Amino acid sequence: MTGGGAAPRSHGRLSISASRQPRSLMDEQPRLAGRWTARVITLLPEAFPGVLGLSLTGRALAEGLWALETINLRGFGKGRHRNVDDTPAGGGAGMVLRADVLSAALDEAAAGTPDDPALWPRLLLSPRGKPFTQARARALAAARGVTLVCGRFEGVDERVIAHCGLEEVSIGDFVLTGGEIAAQALLDASVRLLPGVLGNAASIEDESFSRGLLEHPHYTRPAEWEGMRIPDVLLSGNHAEIARWRREQAEALTRARRPDLRDAPGSKAVPR
Ligand code: ADE
């Protein structure tokens, strides 16, 4: 075990949370077998599983449909204070995550995982990254697992990004204080697409982004509320008409809110 007590901590059915004992990573490998696994490198392991431990993703975690392991970056820190960051070369505000520290954590996270980044991507959550999309969530769900690096710094030493083949991914054009919330958003979007996690597969096909469109509006009882009625077509029982209405609504909503989606690769929206 490297990293001085940075044993990965497993959540879910195979939880070892009662024990923080360092364990050989060789012992970890059988646990990967066949199970989609997220390994999360973070300075805040106690932030996990967080919301992922609840509802559908939590039930799937408890049932062993996927596995979540946190690796405490602090365990790879340097010196008496286990420092993981240092001041930026060239000056400036904030601190930079050290390449040697993160590289050691990534080595540990790589144990038993495939080398092919298509099968096991290594992602750095960062506002600088490529936008995370539903298509990317589908690709991640089709992989065998993912390693996520959560930053809590002004930046990460560029050399470790290049050397370890980290791909930077952003969940939106805003800046969070760290990557943990972004990692949970990315994992939620991916895990719900794993076989057996959602009860109703049809809802995945219809939902927003799946056809390059935002989803149509929904209604339920009561038929009238605050003077507003459910559109007649939805109560007509005419399924062809209902499908047409929903399609038109989805098109109009997408045009108004996200015209960029219509031009995205894979969009099945009617061209303008
Ligand atoms: N870390 C900080 N801000 C982020 C963002 N927008 N996306 C992903 N990771 C982040």
DSSP 8-state class, residue 83:
B
Tell how far the Cα of 6 is from the centroid of ligand 1, in angstroms. 24
H helices present in the chain, as ranges: 25-32, 55-62, 99-109, 134-142, 158-163, 180-191, 201-206, 232-235, 239-257, 259-262
* The predicted structure's pLDDT at residue 1: 34
- Residues contacting 133, CB < 8 A, separation 6+: 209
Question: Domain 9-191 sits in which CATH superfamily?
Answer: SPOUT methyltransferase, trefoil knot domain (3.40.1280.10)
Rounded Cα–Cα distance for residues 202 and 196 (Å): 13
Mutate which of 167, 169, 174 for ligand 1 pocket (most atoms within 8 A of beta carbon): 174
Mutate which of 97, 171, 173, 188 for ligand 1 pocket (most atoms within 8 A of beta carbon): 171
Tell how far the Cα of 126 is from the centroid of ligand 1, in angstroms. 4
Lining residues, ligand 1, CB within 6 Å? 125-127, 170-172, 174-176, 179, 182
| Reported confidence tier of residue 266, pLDDT bands at 50, 70, 90 | low
* The predicted structure's pLDDT at residue 85: 97
| Reported confidence tier of residue 23, pLDDT bands at 50, 70, 90 | very low
162-190 average pLDDT score: 98
72: nearest Cα among 97, 99, 96, 40: 40
Task: List the residue whose alpha carbon is closest to atom 10 of ligand 1.
Answer: 126
* pLDDT tens digits, one per residue of 72-119: 999 999 999 999 999 999 999 999 999 999 999 999 999 999 999 999
* pLDDT tens digits, one per residue of 116-166: 999 999 999 999 999 999 999 999 999 999 999 999 888 999 999 999 999
Question: Domain 205-262 sits in which CATH superfamily?
Answer: tRNA(m1g37)methyltransferase, domain 2 (1.10.1270.20)
Tell how far the Cα of 144 is from the centroid of ligand 1, in angstroms. 24
Q: Which sequence spans correspond to the domains of the chain?
A: 9-191, 205-262
Neighbours of 70 (CB within 10 A): 27
Predicted confidence (pLDDT) at residue 195 exceeds the cutoff of 60: yes
* pLDDT tens digits, one per residue of 43-83: 999 999 999 999 999 999 999 999 999 999 999 999 999 99
Predicted confidence (pLDDT) at residue 17 exceeds the cutoff of 60: no
